[in-house]
Amino acid sequence: MKFSAYLFLLLVVCFGKIIAQDQGSYLISFPIKNDITKNKIESLNLPVIYLNEDQLVTLITSEKLNELEALGIKYSNLDQCTSTDKFYIISSKKDYDVASKMVSEQIVYKESNSVIVKNTSFKPAEASLKGLKVVELNGRINYKNEKRIWNYNRLQLNDSLITQITSSVNQDSVRFFIQSLQNFQTRFLLANTRDAIAEWLKNQFVYMGFADVVIDSFQYQGTWQKNVVATLPGIYEPQVYNVVGGHHDSYSSGDPMIFAPGADDNASGTAAVLEIARVIKANNYQPESTIKFITFAAEEYGLWGSVDYAQKALNSGMNIKIMINHDMISHTYYPVNQSQVDINRYSGFEYLRDLAFYCIEKYSVLEPRNGGQNSAGSDSYSFWERGFPSVYFEETNFSPYYHSPADTIGNYSMGYCAEVIKSSCATLLLNIVMPTMVQNYKLVDAGTGSSLLLNWSPNTSPDFYSYKIHVGDQSGVYDTVLTTTDTIFTVGGLTEGNLYYVGVSVLDQDGFESLIVERSAVPFEFPFAPEGFTAMPQWYQVKLSWINNKEYDLLGYNIYRSVTEGQLGDKLNQNILQDTVFVDNTANNGIYYYYTAKALDSLLNESLNNISLRSRVVSLDQGILIVDETADG
């Protein structure tokens, strides 16, 4: 009988391991191609580890994985992990295969110029020497199927004011800023020049007339690193912020502690922040919302300056309307009027790419070009990763002197840099003029079969006038426009089963219109049948479970049991169920039952096309057979 005891213990141990494994997390990827699927994904509240135009990479628990499978969404399992595992995105500004640079790294996902690795051994110095950025992925925001659309037809602006301010951008001023920063010899984050650099930057803002300039310090590897922040308060919406940024630290091959001139990377981006601040102050411009001019420290070793500021902004609930990033904007191989500038876009905020394109074409001699998507190679990524609208200006002709002692001002075009700055400045000004878009917008099925219900947070701007509701059967194409001053609205007269796109925008008293925030939904009269329905046999009972429905007018659930397949049978619950778990402890031993779960709405409509499952209780009243095959039995 010893064998039986050992076998029992082995089964217990194996079962324990299976349970422990089941409680792990999984890194998965899956396509996000149509809006119905995207809405289902959003309902699961999945963190965004990485996102591109058609793929989402997320970290998911076993329980959520079961829900994903129940929704019929196919996925690829990239890796199984524990709570101590970390994932990093390693990317390059240069156009080469990053995966080829990985020797001992565990790559779990890759694209042309970036990879996701697990528990990297890459050191910051080694990564910088190879022209790579290593950024930890934390999944700080959940996936949302929400679009922001710029309505070109409603574009109104004070063109003379924007022209006046952007025309004040001066390439001699730009040259002064870049040369002055290069004159520090090195701006490497570990060099002893970093305090002097921060003080110099602060003084430039003070000379321009800024009253609110601070050095915002944070620690990195036992050193104090210093962001420099100048603030110009908004006159109507001081609690809404526009961030103009670029990093001021530099890196170079050789010995960066001694010489890392960084004229293009990134004195040019720092100069953009300073020059936009200068021309705005010189023209006595009073913005409607607050502008934060920020030069970031410690970008070269992992975006640490922007990570620190963006995380503080997230923790404090800052309402950031735009983050404009400048990184390497002074190199071109062509005459300025034949040159291009790249606009790197970020998912969910593609409208900022469109806005930048418009401003480049209207206020500069440059030609805009699509850059990368969701670039992790510069400070805008830190803001986008935390849900803030971001856009990133970058030279099209990548500097051949990148991260080298030859990254000096004589190799670059001050005229080209000034034109990029004009474009960026116009993008900032035009974004400020537009009213702040609606926040916390929700769109749900009203449960009537012909209507959808909308709600959002109130716009608190003093010059608020009204909201516009845009309705259509294609994204960005609307055949119905309605107006309201309420923050709750019902769109009626719709066709049951059709997918509708419904956007909300803000109008101010001057007639300016905000971005349209768009969501999609399908009107139905009856609630959906519960998905992920399971009927698990247990000791003398059957445990039923399902995924919670998302309908706005959901009242709860009813459970039915029958002994005959195809028949609904009797309702087991006396009161409407609010939970997604029900235990049937009235089932008799030895009988198979057919269980059905039905969703119920506020009009007492029950779901149709429900799945019925066959199950029975587990019992030992029929006896148990034990066979002892040991030799000494």
Tell me how far CA of residue 255 lies from CA of 123, 180, 404, in angstroms. Answer: 16, 21, 10
| Confidence at 612, pLDDT banded by 50, 70, 90 | very high
Among 203-207, 428-432, 622-626, name the one with the lowest average pLDDT.
622-626
Decide the pairing of beta strands 452-455 and 488-491. Answer: antiparallel
Decide if 218 contacts 310 (C-beta within 8 A).
no
Tell me how far CA of residue 440 lies from CA of 72, 312, 345, 457, 554, in angstroms. Answer: 28, 21, 23, 6, 21
Q: Is the pLDDT of residue 52 over 70?
A: yes
Q: Is the pLDDT of residue 402 over 80?
A: yes
For position 585, what pLDDT does the model report?
95
Decide if 340 contacts 367 (C-beta within 8 A).
yes
More confident residue, 279 or 96: 279
Burial (CB < 10 A; 0-12, 13-18, 19+), residue 604, is: exposed
Decide if 538 contacts 618 (C-beta within 8 A).
yes
What homologous superfamily is domain 442-521 in, according to CATH?
Immunoglobulins (2.60.40.10)
For position 124, what pLDDT does the model report?
80
Q: Is the pLDDT of residue 619 over 90?
A: no
- Tens digit of pLDDT for each residue in 486-534? 999 999 999 999 999 999 999 999 888 999 999 999 999 999 999 889 9
The helix (run of H) or strand (run of E) holding residue 220 is strand 212-220
- Please tell me the distance from the alpha carbon of residue 320 to that of residue 317, in angstroms, as a whole number: 9
For position 2, what pLDDT does the model report?
43
Query: Any bridge partners for residue 220, and if so which?
Result: 223
pLDDT over 70 percentage in the chain: 93
**Hey, what amino acid is at 108?**
V
For position 158, what pLDDT does the model report?
62
The pTM score is 0.87
Mean confidence (pLDDT) of the chain: 91
- Tens digit of pLDDT for each residue in 437-485? 999 999 999 989 999 999 999 998 898 999 999 999 999 999 999 999 9
Structure tokens at 137: 């992925």
For position 624, what pLDDT does the model report?
52
- Please tell me the distance from the alpha carbon of residue 277 to that of residue 51, in angstroms, as a whole number: 33
Among 51-55, 288-292, 401-405, name the one with the lowest average pLDDT.
51-55
- Please tell me the distance from the alpha carbon of residue 312 to that of residue 176, in angstroms, as a whole number: 32
- Tens digit of pLDDT for each residue in 3-35? 444 444 344 444 444 444 445 799 999 998 889
- Tens digit of pLDDT for each residue in 225-283? 999 999 999 999 999 999 999 999 999 999 999 999 999 999 999 999 999 999 999 99
- Tens digit of pLDDT for each residue in 343-393? 999 998 999 999 999 999 999 999 999 999 999 999 999 999 999 999 999
Q: Is the pLDDT of residue 613 over 50?
A: yes
Kindly state the average pLDDT of the residues 289-314: 97
Structure tokens at 20: 């422990």
For position 411, what pLDDT does the model report?
98
Locate tokens 């919406």: which residue?
237
Domain 147-428 in this protein, CATH class: alpha beta
- Please tell me the distance from the alpha carbon of residue 123 to that of residue 121, in angstroms, as a whole number: 6
- Which range is most confident: 24-33, 110-119, 180-189? 180-189
Start and end residues for every CATH 2.60.40.10 domain found in the chain? 442-521, 534-615
For position 104, what pLDDT does the model report?
82
Look at residues 36, 283, 300, 92 and name the one whose alpha carbon lies nearest to residue 194. Answer: 300
Start and end residues for every CATH 3.40.630.10 domain found in the chain? 147-428
Q: What is the CATH code for 534-615?
A: 2.60.40.10
More confident residue, 430 or 629: 430
Locate tokens 């006396």: which residue?
574
* Three-state SS sequence of 561-610: EECCCCCCCEECCCCCECCCEEEECCCCCCCCEEEEEEEEECCCCECCCC
Kindly state the average pLDDT of the residues 571-600: 95
For position 64, what pLDDT does the model report?
87
Look at residues 320, 570, 581 and name the one whose alpha carbon lies nearest to residue 428. Answer: 320
